[in-house]
Structure 1
């Protein structure tokens, strides 16, 4: 193999950050409509794939190790300390339960889709191939992280389940293919609001009550100061340090002969738990946590792309996984539909709840703005609940597939 053009960790890190910055700059500067269907995330992941496979940057590097060891835990802390469960419940009410049941639908749907995919997988030599790898439960767990929380949960689950670059490629490709179908369905559901609300037996004053609660929500944030950033760094590093120390000492857990909790899994679970505890303290008011977290995670996504060796990729496996993802998403849809009827929730809340799952904080506000603009702040809060649950449930999805499949 030829020596990569850029080998130093500083140079590689510069390239990754430049890739992230370029695609967000291009989106803002051009406002191309293509970004409505293919968000910068896809290009941020794909660009380093080509850079590494063309020999410009390496597949393995100290910069990648640093991001895996420290970047991901720091991101989880910064993301989760902003979770406000009480605020979301105050506005959306029973709509939060619809989202939670939708999350359960993602978990169970992922296990069903993986099991079905294994049953359909054909032996080598068949004319019609359906090659879903046996270890694709790692890809199902990775994608469930995105569909319960967001990009950060997807990368955290990928790390916790010891996924490969191919698993991330399968998950990322299916995520966007399904999103292109599911988002228009959520947006278009507004046209059926009156009929849906009659079917779901929605209380006539429910929407007015949500509007009033949303108007009373204070979602302002102070400008960051030197001391607030210092406290934020202290908190994130302290939780990361303690979690890393504990994860090295906790024993692995086995179920049915398979290792379901490794040291990397312990690390993600511990960081997630400690960060959620911190979100119940005044630390939640520290400004700038969310933008810093998102900057870290996009660089981490670029890092995953750089480690993807296309010589080992299987387009047939990616296609088979995407087909199962469509089965999976409609199982989630059945769960949120049943929950909306049971809890007598309006179609606006239903669409926002599903968007908070499948699209996370990036898509939930889009759906909310289309359905009812006053619910945009609440949609972000609901997506943050998905962030809080995403790591736990994504790991559960993958491990259930591993054990049951």
Structure 2
């Protein structure tokens, strides 16, 4: 039975998102430590579409892309605290930016290594994955829209993101064992961690539950920003290969969100939680539009390219730590902030030095802020060598 009604398709996508978070909380299974709900939220609509239960095309998919995505980006950017991150992390932000540079440089190299075994448009899969590896899932969703990535390309990016994460996270966690030798290698200041912890505690604020006016205010800000970006994007010139009205809209909405993060609107509670709910809805929508057979056929060479890519990123993180004289804890968190976003950065920080969890979240938010711009540039580099 194919679900064709707007209400039915939207209910299915939202229900899939809600179900796997409920399952994680209800079972407390360790499975979700290795395969987060995101994977199942993506794969379930893939399977439902392959079985003909979800339609290949639906007005719901178009509405989520045109409305939900920009709203999600504004809400994500509202919590970016650039000044706080610089005060707390100092040179740690520099290491994260080295890691970002490693993602940008590594993508075309990894793509070139496996290009003969991939379809011509596979550069879009590398560009989409760059969004996740510089910022997070929200950035991956945004960049996929900017470059008009197909469901297959997004599928490859999700597969690469999940598989590489399974072996990269243990490397970051295990690096704690080499803290002393790493400190000698980089020449780090012995008091650096204590200084960073104190600065993070000074920046910390108590979380408050959002009220009805807070939610209405957030929706107004997100919708108004989306509206303005839509209007402006259609009067700006388009430039080949992929500076389309859609790309302009994403970059404008990102810039607007970052700008608003410097205002009192950033104090409205609930923006991150609302944004992440919209992120997962968008991921479910991407799954419903994926060609499973095509993605599976290219998965192995794509993973080889992504493995080359991730080690180039790691080399850049080491170089940044050496040049900026940063400890292994900060270097590991910087890589996790790039590759896994706020959740992974928090996990790594908890393992290395629990007092650095607030700092790790600040670092990941910087990744959100630069993710769309840097990943878009990465995608164009991959296009140039395709």
TM range (shorter): over 0.9
Tell me whether 1:391 sits opposite 2:377 in the alignment: no
Matching of residue 174 in structure 1 with residue 160 in structure 2: yes
Task: Tell me the CA shift for residue 19 of structure 1.
Answer: 0.3
- The whole-number CA distance in structure 1 between the counterparts of 2:150 and 2:297 is 17
2:270 is equivalent to residue 270 of structure 1: no
SS in 2 for 1:204: coil
Q: Distance in 1 between matches of 2:30 and 2:218?
A: 36
Structure-2 residue corresponding to 1:224: 210
Taking the aligned partners of 2:302 and 2:229, their CA distance within structure 1 comes to 33
Task: Tell me the CA shift for residue 329 of structure 1.
Answer: 0.2
Correspondence for 2:95 among 75, 98, 102: 98
Is the Cα–Cα contact under 8 Å of residues 204 and 358 in structure 2 kept in the other structure? no
What are the ranges of 5 or more consecutive residues in structure 1 without an aligned counterpart? 122-130
Q: 1:81 & 1:208 partners in 2: Cα distance?
A: 28
1:60 matched residue in structure 2: 57
CA distance in 1 between counterparts of 2:257 and 2:197 reads 30
Secondary structure at the residue paired with 1:365? helix
Q: Which residue of 2 aligns with 1:128?
A: none
> Which position in structure 2 is the counterpart of 1:349?
330
User: Whole-Å Cα distance in 2 between the matches of residues 211 and 383 of structure 1?
Assistant: 16
Aligned equivalents of 1:314 and 1:152: distance in 2?
A: 21
Give the 3-state SS of the residue equivalent to 1:6 in structure 2.
coil
- 3-state DSSP of counterpart to 2:237: coil
The answer to which of 215-224 and 276-285 deviates more is 215-224
Q: In structure 2, what is the equivalent of residue 127 of structure 1?
A: none
Contact 2:155 2:295 in 1 (8 A): no
How far apart, in 1, do the equivalents of 2:21 and 2:213 lie? 29
Instruction: State the match for 2:276 in structure 1.
Output: 294
- Structure 1 residue 314, shift from structure 2 partner: 4.6
Counterpart in the other structure of 2:82: 85
Contact 2:2 2:54 in 1 (8 A): yes
Among 289, 300, 318, the alignment partner of 1:307 is 289
Question: Who is 1:143 aligned against?
Answer: 129
Indicate how the Cα distance of structure 1 residues 17 and 314 shifts in structure 2: closer, same or farther if over 3 A, else same. closer
Q: In structure 1, how many angstroms separate the alpha carbons of the residues matched to 2:270 and 2:201?
A: 23
Give the SS at the match of 2:148: coil
Aligned length: 386
Write the distance in 2 (CA, Å) between the matches of 1:315 and 1:223. Answer: 42
Aligned to 2:30: 33
Alignment of 1:2-401 (within 5 A): 4-118=1-115, 121=116, 131-254=117-240, 259-311=241-293, 313-401=294-382
| CA 1:314–1:96: 2 relative to 1, 3 Å | closer
- State the shift of 1:402 in Å: 0.8
Higher helix share: 2
Cα distance in 1 for residues equivalent to 2:40 and 2:291 = 17
Specify whether residues 343 and 10 from structure 1 end up closer, same or farther in structure 2 by C-alpha distance, changes over 3 A only: same
Q: 1:226 offset after TM fit, Å?
A: 2.3
Please say if residues 146 and 242 of structure 2, whose CA atoms lie closer than 8 Å, have aligned partners that are also in contact: no
CA distance in 1, matches of 2:324, 2:37: 36
CA contact (8 A) 2:176 2:352 kept: yes
What's the offset of the Cα at 1:279? 0.7
TM-score of the two chains, using structure 1 as the length reference: 0.93
Distance 2:261 2:298 in 1: 40
Whether contact under 8 Å (1:75, 1:293) holds in the other structure is yes
Partner of 2:189, secondary structure, is coil
Post-superposition CA distance 1:240-279 (Å, at most 9, x none):
001011112222112xxxx131111111111101111111
> Matched residue of 2:242: which SS?
strand
